[in-house]
Structure 1
């Protein structure tokens, strides 16, 4: 079935293939820019796949809204490209969690799953305020699931840096090997869209009322009424989500 997918995707996506012969494989190259979102590509010599990075800037007065969105696993499919479910199955602390994602790939490709460790890194000083979530592949952290092909390789990061005037610069960077019978050039084309659509949706959804005026004591961020007048934590936000898989 996935052999048929090669021909199908080749016809659909051939026009969007970018020539690689003129690229410097050691530098980030801009591959698209639209709606205030830039997508860059970089090739690693040790990998058959390319790394893609998306960046955008937008107004965000309440940074805790991003934390609230990250804690809302049920909403991940609304903004995280190709993802149709997300769940937490272990937690070492609020800044170190283990997550399982499942994908929704174009027919007739088989769906995949990712088993990841999400570690949060914060920089807070006079020169910089930033929060970055590092996604580290942990394919052996859960037993195999015959309903999905598990990503053999994946790494990513998602986070922001405060740039002043109530603005943040958001970044989403990802590299993964989808496994199964998908050639690298098709995987790279699919991956190229992920940073753009993820950031475009995230910057809209994070403005929803349900993510505003929250407070989480495990991160020191800007936010209205921090912390005295912020909305109290609900049990779902303050305790780990345990899932039976």
Structure 2
């Protein structure tokens, strides 16, 4: 009986491992420049592709990233194609509802996105904590706005992982349907550029002085609560 259970367990492990490898192989490298890799994945059920950007850089204070994410007026400076960002509701610091507006190149009409931001902290037990912000499309959470076309579909992931030696890995993944009439090839070009420019700007702006020396007790990352050399945040 024990051998039978062990055999089933090993089969399940092998199946999960094979699925993970297959999922990783679905991502194709489309750009590698300036220390930023951009990958693409295509789903046969969608006319659009999913793009993921990954970069590694030095960041001694991980709370500077939280401070940046809390600074909504700064979003147009680093989040590609975003013209404004605002929070219109929250149930906790880790679950918020946001509205973004975008400025697209002429002759395309401007868009807006209504999203739920759900933050998760993942600990692998080796002090390599990962913070993942899931952006989930919630287009019905606000009344229609005649000045914008609302994204009918959008999902994004912004992930942060501490690697050690003051190195971090940032991941930005994006899939969306812009709505209205935009040819798929134009939408895919816009999507392809978004991860690169977002990560390239973010890794520069996060080092600005106004984002340093903060502490957020709802994201107790590595340093533990009550850091005396930092300021409490929202």
Question: What TM bracket, shorter-length normalisation?
Answer: 0.7 to 0.9
SS at match of 1:140: helix
Q: Deviation string for 1:104-129 (max 9, x for gaps)?
A: 11111100000000000101242331
- For the residues of structure 1 that align with 2:223 and 2:210, how far apart are their CA atoms? 15
**Bigger mean CA offset, 175-184 vs 222-231:** 222-231
TM-score calculated relative to the size of structure 2: 0.86
Indicate the residue corresponding to 1:134 in structure 2: 134
Superposition deviation, residue 229 in structure 1: 1.9
- For the residues of structure 1 that align with 2:26 and 2:99, how far apart are their CA atoms? 31
Indicate the residue corresponding to 2:65 in structure 1: 66
TM-score calculated relative to the size of structure 1: 0.83
Higher relative contact order (CA 8 A, sep 6+): 1
SS at match of 2:38: strand
Indicate the residue corresponding to 2:42 in structure 1: 43
Aligned pair 1:157/2:157, yes or no? yes
Superposition deviation, residue 232 in structure 1: 3.4
SS at match of 2:139: coil
- Quickly say closer, same or farther: Cα 1:226–1:35, change in 2 above 3 A: farther
SS at match of 2:215: coil
Structure with more of its chain in helix, by fraction: 2
Aligned pair 1:228/2:191, yes or no? no
- For the residues of structure 2 that align with 1:171 and 1:100, how far apart are their CA atoms? 21
Indicate the residue corresponding to 1:77 in structure 2: 76
**Bigger mean CA offset, 73-82 vs 117-126:** 117-126
Superposition deviation, residue 223 in structure 1: 5.7
Indicate the residue corresponding to 2:88 in structure 1: 89
- For the residues of structure 1 that align with 2:32 and 2:56, how far apart are their CA atoms? 13
Indicate the residue corresponding to 2:188 in structure 1: 188
Superposition deviation, residue 93 in structure 1: 0.3
Could you tell me which runs of 5 or more consecutive residues in structure 1 were left unpaired when the two chains were aligned: 1-23, 239-245
- Quickly say closer, same or farther: Cα 1:132–1:67, change in 2 above 3 A: same
Indicate the residue corresponding to 2:109 in structure 1: 110
Q: Is the 8 A contact 1:172 1:195 kept in 2?
A: yes
Indicate the residue corresponding to 1:12 in structure 2: none
Indicate the residue corresponding to 2:53 in structure 1: 54
Q: Is the 8 A contact 2:88 2:98 kept in 1?
A: yes
SS at match of 1:117: strand
Q: Is the 8 A contact 1:32 1:39 kept in 2?
A: yes
Structure whose alpha-carbon radius of gyration is higher: 2
Q: Is the 8 A contact 1:156 1:174 kept in 2?
A: yes
